[in-house]
Amino acid sequence: MEHQNAIVSTACGKVLGLSSQGLLEFRAVPYAEPPIGELRWKPPVPVRPWEGVRDCRERGVMPVQHLTGADVEPYRSDFYYEPLPSMGEDCLYLNITVDENAPGSKADRPVFVWFHGGGLTTCHTYEPEADGRAFAEKGIVFVSVEQRLGIFGYLSLPQLTAEQGTSGNYGLLDQICALEWIRDNIAAFGGDPSNITIGGQSGGTVKCMSMVLSPKFSVPVRRIILQSGLQWDRPFPSLSEAEQNGLARLSRLGLAQDASLDELRALPAESLLELPEGNPYIDFVTCDGIVLKDASARDGLLRGACREIPILCGCNLGEGEYPTPAGKDAFYADFRERLGDLYDTYGFETLVPANDSTAPALARRLAAYGLSNLCWTNIMLPRLYGEWSRKALHSDVKNYVYLFAHRTPSRPCELGTERDEEIQWSWHSSELWYTFRSLREGTPPARRWTAWDYALAEQINTYWANFIRTGDPNGEGLPYWPSSCDDLGYVLLGDGISGETRCGSPLESLMEDYVRRQFGLPPVSGE
């Protein structure tokens, strides 16, 4: 029996949702016209209104992509399992999950809009670890957005630039179009259009930041959640660079570089998929001077793009850089090269005693806490940015930083394997099960979840829900989480939860100096 609120009237037409366990799910609600045929590689066209009631109880398609497997990225063996949605270009839709009493009520519920990871090349909105039900149960309107990926979302070519004045960034424009639809329609689902939080993990952080930085973006966003990585200093390619990359791709696909757009748009989608070699995440947003003007997220943040937007940001203990020195000598050689003159200035070998057996674990922990060459694998950068933003930009907002350090239970088939060893390090994106409270008994992947796993997931999900509501994750019954503005505060989420602040140790001072230098965070005047 359908719930009385399962039919919702939007500005585009009526939609029918699926009622289940006190929640309503509206799946594959279109926000733009299908980007097929003549609309391939063009900015999204807002969806035309429809007659009658649109059935939104079934899943939509996943964007066309190469499903690279566990041999390319091991964690995806945990997140990708059957049944997968079908694949297609007609993917410009969003999914909305609310409690069954939300539609037709006062539009005062906070809205959380989620952008999945997978770089800008892979993944989809129906991954079970991020289904959003736990947020809806807490009175939040949860929305996940599908957009064009890979070559369909980010191809630049001189031919396309000649046609449109720029090219690339189609996936980014999809996201902006989706947020505009949400702003104009979410009140019908009980959501407050003036209280929108956007969030994403891994590649989803790039989607969130590039959207906020874009001069094309006009939707007021109240808060941002960035999980498993902030691509602080990765440069956005220029339009000319992106065009050359696009021409090279045509050549790799066996297509003429001067092929007409009519020819390219007539090709089957499958023929445009390039089997990735090495890093499969070959697509990125483009600094074209129109859709994006900042050369990197760093440039946008330093000019104050998020001065009035609180950010919750963090990473995992074994995030992405896995230094595994063979012993003490390799450990010290690596950090001598990494630290430069800071190595001797701080007396690193005295500061960090290591032997052959402790060196691998020490290397990983130091990388997570600050001594990493990759900005998205350590927590010192967002801690320092929060403090810098408050002082240099005179910002009134508080940013919050986390380090997820809980070992996810292994699957029985993994015990004693290399994968089992990898898991103990709180691997990339493994916090998703906990932030979304999506631990499921009897659902692949089969894991030996403990009572603490469930308790930790409830606490973390509550932190996130509080932040989505108010901009402050703290609340009754939760360990205190200090903001990064308050003496570089952060929270450690592991076998326990503890709020931490600047300890003033020489090692922490070394990390501060290294991160400021490595990632170009300027000192505050007077420091």
Q: How far apart are CA 330 and CA 356, in angstroms?
A: 9
| Cα→Cα distances 277→72, 152, 274, Å | 9, 18, 9
pLDDT at 284: 93
The beta strands (E) that lie in 12-162 are given as 14-16, 18-20, 23-30, 53-55, 62-63, 87-88, 93-99, 109-115, 141-145
User: Cα 342 vs. chain centroid, distance in angstroms?
Assistant: 32
Q: How confident is the model at residue 230 (pLDDT cuts 50, 70, 90)?
A: confident
Residue 276 has pLDDT above 80, yes or no: no
Q: Residue 417: pLDDT band by 50, 70, 90 thresholds?
A: low
Confidence of residue 449 (pLDDT cuts 50, 70, 90): confident
pLDDT tens digits, one per residue of 125-155 = 988 889 999 999 999 999 999 999 999 999 9
Evaluate if residue 78 carries a pLDDT over 80: no
Contact 507, 352 (CB under 8 A): yes
pTM: 0.95
pLDDT category of residue 451 using cuts at 50, 70 and 90: very high
- Has residue 289 got a pLDDT over 50? yes
Looking at residue 416, its pLDDT comes to 64
279 or 429, greater pLDDT? 429
Determine contact, residues 370/515, Cβ cutoff 8 Å.
Answer: yes
The reported pLDDT for the residue numbered 405 is 93
pLDDT (mean) for 346-358: 95
Cβ-based neighbour number of residue 435 at 10 Å = 28
Res 415: pLDDT: 64
- Mean of all residue pLDDT scores within the chain: 91
State residue 71's pLDDT score. Answer: 39
Which residues are paired to 196 by β-bridges? 111
pLDDT band at residue 280, thresholds of 50, 70 and 90?
low
Strand partners, 9: 14
Using one digit for the tens of pLDDT, what is the confidence trace for 436-445? 999 876 555 5
Mean pLDDT calculated for residue range 367-375: 91
For 116-176, where are the E strands, in sequence order?
141-145
The whole-number average pLDDT for the span 411-421 is 63
Q: With residue 70 as reference, give the H or E element that holds it.
A: none
* DSSP per-residue codes, 421-451: HHHTT-BTTTTHHHHTT---TTSSSP----H
CB 24 within 8 A of CB 102: yes
Q: How confident is the model at residue 274 (pLDDT cuts 50, 70, 90)?
A: confident
Among the listed residues 321, 163, 160, 291, the one whose alpha carbon sits nearest the alpha carbon of residue 217: 291
Say what percent of the chain tops pLDDT 90. 76
Structure tokens at 307: 């001065």
Residue 404 has pLDDT above 60, yes or no: yes
Write out the CATH class of domain 7-295.
alpha beta
pLDDT in tens, 98-132: 999 999 899 999 999 999 998 899 889 988 889 99
**Which residues, 6+ apart, have CB-to-CB distance to 303 below 8 Å?**
294
Beta strands in 180-334 (DSSP E): 191-201, 223-227, 311-316
DSSP code of 233? S
SS3 of 11-34: CCCEEECEEECCEEEEEEEECECC
Beta strands in 293-342, from DSSP E residues, in sequence order = 311-316
Task: Tell me how long the chain is.
Answer: 527
- C-alpha 339/C-alpha 171 separation (Å) is 38
**Cα–Cα distance for residue pair 112/402, rounded to 1 Å:** 19
Token look-up 């602080």 returns 232
User: Given this model, what pLDDT does residue 412 score?
Assistant: 63
CA 345/CA 178 separation, integer angstroms: 51
The pair of structure tokens assigned to 43 is: 């900015």
What is the rounded average pLDDT of the residues 156-184?
A: 98
Coil, strand or helix: which one is 54? Answer: strand
Would the pLDDT of 256 be above 70?
yes
Q: If you average pLDDT over residues 279-283, what whole number do you get?
A: 71
Separation between Cα atoms, residue 91 and residue 89, nearest integer Å? 5
pLDDT tops 80 at residue 480: yes
Amino acid at 73: E
Instruction: Report helix, strand or coil for 164.
Output: helix
Closest alpha carbon to 143 in 444, 468, 471, 438: 468
Q: Is the pLDDT of residue 74 over 50?
A: no
Rg, C-alpha atoms of the chain: 23
Model confidence band, residue 73 (pLDDT cutoffs 50, 70, 90) = very low
pLDDT at res. 403: 96
Residue-range domain boundaries for the chain: 7-295, 328-518
Determine the pLDDT at residue 393: 92
Strands 18-20 and 23-30, sheet pairing: antiparallel
pLDDT of residue 70: 41
Q: 48-60: per-residue pLDDT in tens? A: 999 999 999 999 9
